[in-house]
Amino acid sequence: MTDAQASHPSPAAGKPAPVSLLAVQARVAEVYQNRCASAARTYLDAVGAAGRDWLDASRPLTPMEAWRDAATYWSDFGQRTLLFWDTLRQRGNNWLEHEEAGKPPLLAFDYEIVADARTFARPVNYALVRIEAPPGIRTDPDRRAYVIIDPRAGHGPGIGGFKADSEVGVALRAGHPVYVVIFFPEPVSGQTLADVARAEAEFLRIVGTRHRTRGKPVVVGNCQGGWAAMLVGALDPDCAGPIVVNGAPMSYWAGNDAENPMRYAGGMLGGSWTASLASDLGGGTFDGAYLVENFEYLNPANTYFGKSYNLFAKIDTEPERYLEFERWWGGYFLMNREEIRWIVDNLFVGNKLAGGGAEWSAGHAFDLRAIRSPIILFASLGDNITPPQQAFNWVADVYPTTEELKANGQVIVGLMHRSIGHLGIFVSAGVARKEHAQIIDLLEYIEHLPPGLYGMQVEEQRTNGAARYDVVLTEHRVEDLQRLQKYARKDEIPFSAVEKVSELNASLYETFVHPILGALVPPESGRLARAFHPLRVRRWAISDLNPWLAPLEGWAALARAHRAERDEAGPSAAAERLLAAETTAAWDLYRQVRDAAVENLFYTVYAPMSVLAPEEAPAPAKPAGRDGAFVREALARIAEGGFTEAAVRAALLAARLGTHERRLSTFKRMRELVGHDVGLLDLPAGEASHVVRLQACIVEQEPERALETLPRLVPGAGERRRLLGLLERLMGHIDLEPEQRALMPEFRRLLAPEPPPGTASAALAASRATRRPPGRGKPQRAHR
């Protein structure tokens, strides 16, 4: 994105200032040249570093040493070559076996099918399975159930439970019942994304019926399973508990220049018509292998060299891990034409979900503001498929201000990893043991948070080699999300032109091309075309189906039995590493120049369109602040409630005057001290969360009245003494800010057996002037 495009204010900022098209194009060309120069420097630096490493590893050899090094290296090289191709043969055999078995979910756990949506009134190719705990692990049916939705983005289900240390594994070890939403390779004819969302909502109701004790099930959505979980929460808010969204693209136009090339794909292809073309050529079915190709396109160095070389270089230790992953990576699942069109039109190109324009039926759109459960967002700065901007920007689209977020009673928690890649968010054992385990540990606390936007940070402490974690939540403002952007989201303006071009091209395609192709290409031709897709050919062609590979298994067995050792520090091995590094650097240079060219072409074409396009009338503003239904309900009940409501309100009145940092360890200590005395832990989770949300809204909107009406919630002298005792107990274990200490005498005076009528909160009013903005307060620490 260029500074010229950045000079456009966002649509919310008012009318765009006039911009010279010539200046826009000149700046686009300048940025392209800078990108290419940067790519060349990166390539030269990588090659130079590899050369220096090779020189450092080189040493003079005698003729005998040189002969020995060459002999052992080339013996090892030949054996590695045989073992490498034999591993690819095994990959092909595994692929054939998986296809013949019907491509079952690749879960590392046993499971039973609880509900098959192919039998529903509106059938879809989905099912709900219950995970059986492995030996040594016991789950409690009375604990909160977890439902994990894996992405249907070309691959099959199972990524959330791919190994023991996974989202499924950590939830089982925490004692929770776990369910997984799986899907079958072939879609049901005529199924739509709305039908899928209805089926998943029914799955949640089934799980909720089986585990009633602690409330609605927790929903975990991975990648595109994340927006699927959000669709369910918006379509049927009463069936979903907390929603955990991992690496899910919710705001498709977002990203950074030079980092996220996938967001330009829709514009470069002319919109959604290509997905319709692929479906028509497939006999009305869209092949998920095309989506996998898009992922592999992002990193050609890894796709065409790095992954294979890593296997070749570590052939004695890598095959098991490689074959396990390839079994999942090579399982290509299908969608029907209606599903992929809805996804591309509404999400990839249209970006309509956050704006409330993604319709599940005519005139009825998914409204993310309808979600009442807490939402946890997990993204990574190292993810080039779903960058943090795509994971978080929708929050600012749905709730333009912090006040609107709080007025809607919503809790949103964001967790950012510093470096892990896209797949690592779901399959990394380290991420499962750290981030996912802490999310599970945190969920009960999150349900007791007042509405707002929070940043989550996992702190790690090591004692005698053992890791111990604590979670810190820091309140932020929605407006702080702009810090994720290079250009305050002004680089998203040209994408609206892409949407219009896509609509035009799709209309032309549906009018003139689809009727012909739809009649000419039967389903049988589609199946044949899928069999010869390059991603499939590379698997079945290197398998036991190929008679030319018949001797390979025996040769490989002989090589394993007589493995030659090589000198890793020798010049031949060093030369191999040099060549590998140079090859990787060359592929990276190609990728950077290619992405720069694509980005340059995108803004060259669509930036002028966005400048010349007429402005659209702004959408009507949604109710916010005191006009919202939730705020009206809360203020109408300001004098209603009992001891639990009074204790929660008193805690929130004190909390708003102190730091905006909250610790999980502090919450656990408070729960040990007064948890059941307050009464929240004795309520179903949904009811407890509603109590906190209502009281938080009252305190946020009318803090003085909230304090003045506090005695009306506990009219009895015994209840007042009990509440004061509870507050005094907490004060002895938590550090307080001066403003909070000034509030305690007010509590004592108001909760006296006969409180003075009309008592005003002078301390509270005085403290409002010194209240710290979110994220800038002194950290609140629990006494250890």
**What are the tokens at 537?**
């050919």
pLDDT of residue 381: 92
Give whole-number Cα distances, 394 to 351, 400, 518, 580, 749, in Å: 10, 10, 36, 41, 45
**Band of the pLDDT at 612, cuts 50, 70, 90?**
low
pLDDT of residue 777: 41
Compute the CA torsion angle 195, 196, 198, 199 (nearest 10 deg).
120
User: Mean pLDDT for the chain?
Assistant: 88
The model's pLDDT over 412-464, given as tens digits with 9 standing for 90+, comes to 999 999 999 999 999 898 999 999 999 999 988 898 899 999 999 999 888 77
Beta bridge partners of 146: 178, 218
Phi-psi region of 775 (alpha: psi -120 to 50; beta: other; left: phi over 0): left
At residue 606's C-alpha, the angle toward residues 517 and 275, to 5°, is 25
DSSP letter (8 states) at residue 625: G
Secondary structure of 679-735 in the HEC alphabet? CHHHCCHHHHHHHHHHHHHHHHHCHHHHHHCHHHHCCCHHHHHHHHHHHHHHHCCEC
pLDDT of residue 784: 31
Supply the Cα-derived Rg of the chain in whole angstroms: 29
Q: Is the pLDDT of residue 774 over 90?
A: no
Beta bridge partners of 412: 375, 453
pLDDT of residue 754: 59
| H-run or E-run covering 604 | helix 571-612
Question: How many residues can be counted in the chain?
Answer: 784
* CA–CA separation, 690 and 346 (whole Å): 32
Beta bridge partners of 474: 455, 661
Which single residue is written with the structure tokens 């300001």? 638
Contact 385, 609 (CB under 8 A): no
Helix, strand, coil percentages, rounded to 5, for the chain: 55, 10, 35
Q: By three-state DSSP, how is residue 747 classified?
A: helix
The model's pLDDT over 262-288, given as tens digits with 9 standing for 90+, comes to 999 999 999 999 999 999 999 999 999
Arithmetic mean of pLDDT, 503-525: 95
Q: By three-state DSSP, how is residue 287 classified?
A: strand
* CA–CA separation, 220 and 179 (whole Å): 10
> Which domains does the chain carry?
111-258+338-486 (3.40.50.1820), 628-768 (no CATH)
**Band of the pLDDT at 615, cuts 50, 70, 90?**
low
Q: What percent of the chain has pLDDT over 70?
A: 90
> Taking the model in full, what pTM does it have?
0.89
pLDDT of residue 184: 97
The model's pLDDT over 521-568, given as tens digits with 9 standing for 90+, comes to 999 999 999 999 999 999 999 999 999 999 999 999 999 999 998 888
Contact 502, 268 (CB under 8 A): no
Arithmetic mean of pLDDT, 4-32: 57
Alpha helices per DSSP H over 156-223: 167-173, 193-210
Which is nearest to 178 in space by CA: 244, 111, 124, 229?
111
| H-run or E-run covering 472 | strand 466-476
| H-run or E-run covering 315 | none
pLDDT of residue 558: 96
Q: By three-state DSSP, how is residue 124 classified?
A: coil
**What are the tokens at 657?**
């005057």
pLDDT of residue 729: 81
Which is nearest to 371 in space by CA: 144, 201, 206?
201
Arithmetic mean of pLDDT, 694-703: 92
The model's pLDDT over 379-405, given as tens digits with 9 standing for 90+, comes to 999 998 999 999 999 999 999 999 999
Measured in whole angstroms, how far is the alpha carbon of residue 408 from the centre of its chain? 23
Q: Is the pLDDT of residue 769 over 60?
A: no
Contact 416, 380 (CB under 8 A): yes
* CA–CA separation, 257 and 685 (whole Å): 42
Contact 658, 736 (CB under 8 A): yes
Contact 188, 118 (CB under 8 A): yes
The model's pLDDT over 637-658, given as tens digits with 9 standing for 90+, comes to 999 999 999 999 998 888 888 7
Q: By three-state DSSP, how is residue 133 classified?
A: coil
The model's pLDDT over 148-200, given as tens digits with 9 standing for 90+, comes to 999 999 999 999 998 999 999 999 999 999 999 999 999 999 999 999 999 99
**Band of the pLDDT at 21, cuts 50, 70, 90?**
confident
* CA–CA separation, 376 and 226 (whole Å): 10
Q: Is the pLDDT of residue 327 over 60?
A: yes
For helices 717-731 and 664-678, give the axis angle rounded to 10 degrees: 160
Give whole-number Cα distances, 115 to 435, 479, 546, 764, in Å: 30, 43, 40, 54
**What are the tokens at 12?**
């919310």
Residues 6+ apart with CB under 8 A from 68: none
Give whole-number Cα distances, 415 to 390, 439, 458, 473, 692, in Å: 14, 9, 9, 10, 22
Give one DSSP letter per residue of 340-380, joined into a string. HHHHIIIIITT--TTTT--EEETTEE--GGG--S-EEEEEE
Alpha helices per DSSP H over 613-642: 629-636
Q: Is the pLDDT of residue 136 over 80?
A: yes
**What are the tokens at 397?**
């689209």
Q: Is the pLDDT of residue 627 over 90?
A: no
* CA–CA separation, 448 and 432 (whole Å): 24
DSSP letter (8 states) at residue 106: -
**Band of the pLDDT at 782, cuts 50, 70, 90?**
very low
Beta bridge partners of 244: 220, 376
